[in-house]
C-alpha cells in the first residue's frame, strides 16, 4: 500500500481564510458566529445566527469561470487555488491523468435555485432564462467547475453527501492515491450562506434559536443547555499526494492520512445511530492498523443537536472511554455542512503541527444523557502524533479519518 500525505491547504471559514489565521483564531478562542439581521424578514424562521466567510475576493476568479459558479463553487475555487499554490503543483501535473479531484457540497447554488425555479414555474417558460443557471445549481457544480478552472483531467469524484461531503471527498482521494489510481488528489468541500440551509434544520427544531442577542453563545456541543446547531458557510481544499511522489518534488508535508472509514446506518433517515458511528470509527482504526488507545485526540462531529451529541458520545465512549481528549469546534464557527469535514481535518493538522487541542466553545456541563467522554472545556497545548476526525450526515452516512504526524525517515 502506498502512503498518502498532505502537501497543500486552502480554506475559507468564519474563523479565517488561511491555515495560520485559523490557528490564531482557535488559540485566541474567537467565535465566528454572528447575528443575521436580514433573516428577521423571513417568516417562520426561528434561527437568526450563522457563521459567514469574510474578506474573500471572489472576483479574483476569472469571469469566464465565475459565470457558471454560484457562491458555493466560488468559495471552493478560491480555497482550491490556495491549496494548489501551497502545494506548488505544476499545470502539467494537474492536467495529467495521475491528478484528480474529490469534492462535494450539500447542494448546489441555493440563491440561483431560488431565482431560477420560481420564474420558470410562474411563467411556464424557459425563455430569457440564464443558460448558466443549471450549472450553478447542479449537485456536482463544485467538482465540475473546479475541473474546468484548473484543467484537471484525471479522476473526478463528486461527493455530495450533506455533512460528510468533504470528509468523504478526502476519503475518496486517500483511497485513490493509496491504491494507485492517482498520484495526486485535490479534495474538499464547500457550503454557501443561505437561509434555505438554516430553514431545513429550523423546521426540524434542530437549529439554535435562543441566542440571537448573544450569537457567540448559540452553539454548545455536548453541553446540557444546548438548543441546536448553527448553520454556517465555508470551504476548504487539501492536496493529497503519494509520499515518494511528494518527496521527489520537494513538497512540504503537513501530515499523513493513515486511516479512513465510511459506512451507512441503513436505518433512520435523520436519527443518528450509535452503532453506525462506532462501526465507522472501528473501520478507520482497522484501515490504519491502530488500536483505539493509539488515538490521542478526537475532533468530534458534535453539532449541538439533542440526539446527535448523545449518540456520538456513546459511540466514542464505547471505543475510547473517558480519557482520550475530545472536542467539537462547531462552537467556534457553527456547522459548515459540506465544508465541515475538510476544515475540521485542517484543525487536526494544526493539532499535529502546532500542538493545539482546541476547546469546545461554550461547554460547561456534560448533558446527563451523554456518555462520560473527556470533552475539552479549555484549550490544551499538547504534542500529539495521531488524531481522528469524525463526521456524520443525514441518511446515516458516517465517516472517520485518522491523521498522523509526518516524520522524515
Catalytic residue set: 163, 301, 335
* C-alpha cell at position 347: 484543525
Q: Which of 350, 297, 254 is nearest to 8 (CA)?
A: 254
The whole-angstrom separation of Cα 390 and Cα 234 is: 18
Q: 382, 258 in Cβ contact below 8 A?
A: no
Give CA separation, 350 vs 36, 316, 370, in Å.
Answer: 30, 22, 27
The whole-angstrom separation of Cα 409 and Cα 405 is: 12
The whole-angstrom separation of Cα 191 and Cα 185 is: 20
The whole-angstrom separation of Cα 391 and Cα 342 is: 10
Q: How crowded is residue 122: how many other Cβ atoms within 10 Å of its Cβ? A: 8
Across 302-311, b (16+ Cβ under 10 Å) vs e yields bbbbeebbbb
Contacts of 228 (CB under 8 A, 6+ apart): 47, 201, 205, 206, 207, 208, 209, 304, 305, 306
Amino acid at each position: 500500500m502506498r502512503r498518502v500525505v498532505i502537501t497543500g491547504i486552502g480554506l475559507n471559514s468564519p474563523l479565517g481564510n488561511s491555515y495560520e489565521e485559523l490557528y490564531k483564531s482557535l488559540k485566541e478562542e474567537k467565535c465566528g458566529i454572528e447575528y443575521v439581521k436580514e433573516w428577521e424578514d423571513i417568516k417562520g424562521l426561528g434561527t437568526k445566527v450563522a457563521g459567514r466567510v469574510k474578506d474573500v475576493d471572489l472576483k479574483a476568479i476569472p469571469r469566464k469561470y465565475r459565470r457558471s459558479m454560484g457562491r458555493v463553487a466560488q468559495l471552493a475555487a478560491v480555497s482550491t487555488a490556495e491549496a494548489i499554490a501551497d502545494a506548488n503543483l505544476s499545470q502539467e501535473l494537474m492536467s495529467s491523468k495521475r491528478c484528480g479531484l474529490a469534492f462535494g457540497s450539500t447542494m448546489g447554488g441555493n440563491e440561483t435555485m431560488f431565482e431560477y425555479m420560481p420564474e420558470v414555474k410562474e411563467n411556464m417558460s424557459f425563455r430569457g432564462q440564464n443558460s448558466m443557471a443549471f450549472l450553478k445549481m447542479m449537485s456536482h457544480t463544485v467538482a465540475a467547475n473546479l475541473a474546468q478552472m484548473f484543467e484537471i483531467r484525471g479522476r473526478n469524484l463528486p461527493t455530495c453527501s450533506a455533512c460528510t461531503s468533504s470528509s468523504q471527498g478526502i476519503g475518496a482521494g486517500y483511497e485513490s492515491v493509496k491504491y494507485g489510481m492517482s498520484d495526486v488528489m485535490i479534495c474538499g468541500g464547500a457550503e454557501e450562506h443561505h437561509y434555505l440551509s438554516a430553514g431545513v434544520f429550523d423546521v426540524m427544531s434542530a437549529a439554535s434559536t435562543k441566542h440571537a442577542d448573544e450569537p457567540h453563545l448559540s452553539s454548545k456541543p455536548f453541553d446540557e443547555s444546548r438548543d441546536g446547531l448553527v448553520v454556517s458557510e465555508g470551504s476548504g481544499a487539501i492536496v493529497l499526494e503519494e509520499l515518494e511522489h511528494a518527496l521527489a518534488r520537494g513538497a512540504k508535508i503537513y501530515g499523513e492520512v493513515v486511516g479512513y472509514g465510511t459506512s451507512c446506518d441503513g436505518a433512520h433517515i435523520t436519527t443518528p445511530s450509535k452503532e453506525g458511528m462506532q462501526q465507522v470509527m472501528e473501520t478507520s482504526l482497522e484501515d490504519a492498523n491502530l488500536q483505539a488507545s493509539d488515538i490521542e485526540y478526537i475532533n468530534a462531529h458534535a453539532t449541538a443537536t439533542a440526539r446527535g451529541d448523545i449518540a456520538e458520545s456513546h459511540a466514542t465512549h464505547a471505543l475510547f472511554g473517558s480519557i482520550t481528549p475530545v472536542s467539537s469546534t462547531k462552537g467556534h464557527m457553527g456547522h459548515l455542512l459540506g465544508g465541515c469535514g475538510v476544515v475540521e481535518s485542517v484543525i487536526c493538522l494544526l493539532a499535529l503541527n502546532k500542538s493545539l487541542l482546541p476547546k469546545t466553545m461554550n461547554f460547561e456541563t456534560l448533558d446527563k444523557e451523554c456518555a462520560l467522554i473527556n470533552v475539552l472545556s479549555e484549550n490544551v497545548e499538547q504534542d500529539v502524533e495521531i488524531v481522528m476526525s469524525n463526521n456524520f450526515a443525514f441518511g446515516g452516512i458516517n465517516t472517520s479519518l485518522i491523521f498522523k504526524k509526518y516524520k522524515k525517515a
